A and B are shown apart, each in its own frame.
Chain A
């Protein structure tokens, strides 16, 4: 694969799946600077992964896998000291927020996601994006029954939190 082909495929993946990348980034990084940083890291890993894609899974699953694996290992403090990283003001911010109406419930959901540990967060993201237990099992490398147990626990936790929030509001 030539570098030009790799770049072309990478750009196509980025355009087609940017929505799911943004969701992962917002779930794992909580300030604009960190989101930019994580997006940069995920983009680089995604670009590097292009030659390894063997079409054994859907592109979306592959992109999700690369992004999640990068996000759970991403360490805010470590990134600050990493060599080869450009300061943001050299090239401008990578992500520019779109002006749109805020949904209070979505903010709440992201807030609760952020409170989960990194592994539960990744399961929750996969679950919200409609991946089957079988797909989740393959992406995470754990058994389907274990996925089921964890998902059940997370669903219960989120529903309880939602009720708690509701009582608080009243």
Chain B
């Protein structure tokens, strides 16, 4: 091969315009887009919606059950647990609203797109971190509550192990988001490298 000047490289590059490298399997593409479109409606923001619903339903159930069972004189742990769950649902809901509002603020350039992706990743990192720490007080309150009512210790041990499992699974999920956010920040830094003079 003869050493190329950039203009020659461009000529070689432009040859592809006359002969596309691939043919598109349109039927397969159409099927995939249709499937993805249907699923996307369900998946979008699913984890947030799930957290909100689960916490509201759980808080309400605990409150009602405690109130009915003890005629308004239930133990403090149940009320604390219900309050914590309701506060978490409110926190995730307001976070979601704020994030949705910000979505229109990013411009359509690569930098704007990366900023948008970093903003979403930051929210995911924060949410996964909060959810992970959230397991501790919730788990503690559940254990304290069942300790008072249960006589069989093995049920408490099982619940303790289950909470431990959720804690470690949460860590694994959190690390995935942290890694993804870091990758996006590296891309952004690379893109804006030397952009100070603008």
Contacts and interface: CB of A to CB of B under 8 A. Distances in A.
Mutual binders A and B? yes
Interface of A: 14, 18-19, 22-23, 26, 39-40, 43-44, 47, 52, 65, 68-69, 72-73, 75, 78, 83-86, 91-98, 100, 103-106, 108-109, 117-120, 122, 128-130, 138-143, 145-146, 149-150, 155, 158-159, 162-163, 165-166, 169
Contact of A145 (B35, B117, B198): B198
A60 B183 CA distance: 28
Interface of B: 1-6, 9-10, 12-13, 15-17, 19-25, 27-29, 31-33, 35-37, 39-40, 43, 107-114, 117, 180, 183-184, 187, 190-192, 194-195, 197-198
Contacts of A122: 110
Contact of B111 (A52, A142, A150): A142
Contacts of B31: 91
Interface of B is mostly: helix
Contacts of A65: 108-110
Contacts of B113: 69, 73
A94 B24 contact: yes
A142 B15 contact: no
Nearest to B109: A141
B33 A169 contact: no
B21 A140 contact: no
A106 B198 contact: no
A40 B30 CA distance: 10
Interface centre among A14, A83, A91, A163, by most chain B C-beta atoms within 10 angstroms, is A91
Contact of B198 (A19, A43, A143, A155): A143
A95 B195 CA distance: 38
A47 B33 contact: yes
B126 to A, nearest CB: 19
B170 to A, nearest CB: 17
A135 B122 CA distance: 30
Interface centre among A84, A98, A138, by most chain B C-beta atoms within 10 angstroms, is A84
A138 B112 CA distance: 11
B1 A145 contact: no
A14 B187 CA distance: 27
A55 to B, nearest CB: 13
A92 B24 CA distance: 11
Contacts of B16: 19, 22-23, 106
B197 A143 contact: yes
Contact of B39 (A83, A103, A104, A139): A83
Contact of B180 (A39, A75, A95): A75
17 contacts: A26-B21, A72-B114, A73-B113, A75-B180, A83-B43, A98-B20, A105-B12, A106-B15, A109-B13, A118-B190, A138-B109, A149-B194, A158-B9, A159-B3, A159-B5, A162-B4, A165-B1
